[in-house]
Homo-oligomer: A and B are copies of this chain.
């Protein structure tokens, strides 16, 4: 097993031991932000206008094995398929239950979901990106606390196009140096564009970097997205009681910044679960972000699509997409839940599912 999972340190290994053979619940938090429609920002959709459909389509894939609000599956402009394929395969193999939580959407999934009263986000260029942050956070805390008594631990992932840019916005407003460190779904990471968008937003909000260090509600309201307060609230509500694996890449920096500012104590019950593609991403620096926030261990699944028969999956080895929909974290959770499940089993299941979904 060891070579199949990367641990940042001994603390990461200890976290894995705590959740080994335990029963998790997977929650996918979804949202939309107009930030995704700025040309060149997001590849989480075949074109910017369709990025609104990616999060609902992702969770439909998890629940029904096929998308309902779009044909096929979400793809990048180059045709690379959504990491939700990995998530659905791992959930299926390990029989892990799942929920969808909505932060704020333009397009709703044709599947059951938990509503927290949020609204879709505006572009962070406005400096006034998200409404009802406090209400969503409170509702998410209530839901997270309530759900914590029914499962051993939570794995929380997200799907929101444009999410690394909004994470950069929140982190910058809260004094985390994340410029040049957030990942991208594209093979060439548009760091300069992202930072220009964040700077425009800060100017319109009338704030300077680090000014909102102790005001996470305002940081997210000005420069975040509606996924963040929902995700952060779930973590705060649940991690007082049970371990929480934050399943994602550099977007987790925005979530964790909010969690730390509201309730730093719960961080000791958290870890980040992600993919090898994020750890080896030379155009980003997850560990450089996380160490500024706290001593939070990182665990990564050594997913490998290099031998895939599908071009769309082999592309993951060329540093596209990399992570999303909790793919890395749920792969780890599947292997820890069932000792007999290997990375190869999950990769084979992804091959099979992708084959079925693209077999016309």
Contact (A115, B117) CB under 8 Å given A25-B150, A95-B149, A98-B146: no
A63-B142, A147-B97 given as contacts; is B111 within 8 A of A114 (CB)?
no
Chain B nearest Cβ from A116, distance in angstroms? 5
Tell me the complex Cα distance, A68–B143, Å: 17
Q: Cβ of A146 and Cβ of B115 under 8 Å apart?
A: no
Does chain B have a CB within 8 A of A110?
Answer: yes
* A150 touches which of B113, B140, B150 (Cβ 8 Å): B150
- Assess whether A151 is interfacial by the CB under 8 Å rule: yes
A112 — which chain B residues lie within 8 A by C-beta? 114-116, 139-140, 142-143, 146
A108 near B: Cβ within 8 Å?
yes
A142 contacts which chain B residues (CB < 8 A)? 63-64, 111-112
Instruction: With both chains docked as a complex, state the minimum distance between the C-beta of A112 and any C-beta of chain B, in angstroms.
Output: 4
Residues of B within 8 A of A113 (CB): 114-115
In the complex, the answer to whether B116 meets A146 with C-beta atoms within 8 Å is no
Neighbour of A114 across the interface among B98, B115, B151, CB < 8 A: B115
Most B CB within 10 A of own CB, among A102, A110, A111: A111
Pairwise interchain contact A146-B99, C-beta atoms closer than 8 A: yes
User: Which residues of the partner chain B approach A99 to less than 8 Å between Cβ atoms?
Assistant: 146
List the B residue with the shortest CB-CB distance to A64.
Answer: B142
Residue among A95, A98, A116, A143 with most chain B CB within 10 A: A143
Q: Min CB distance, A344 to chain B, in Å?
A: 25
CB-defined contacts of A117 to chain B, threshold 8 Å: 108, 110
Candidates B97, B143, B149; contact of A146 at CB < 8 Å: B97
A2 to chain B, nearest CB (A): 29
Residue interface bits A1-41, CB-to-B below 8 A is 1, else 0? 00000000000000000000001010000000000000000
Chain B positions within 8 Å of A23 at CB level? 150
Q: Which of A63-85 contact B (CB under 8 A)?
A: 63-64
A149 to B115, CA, bound (A): 21
Alpha-carbon gap, A150 to B142, bound state (A): 18
Q: Lowest 3 A-B CB distances belong to which pairs?
A: A112-B143, A112-B139, A115-B115
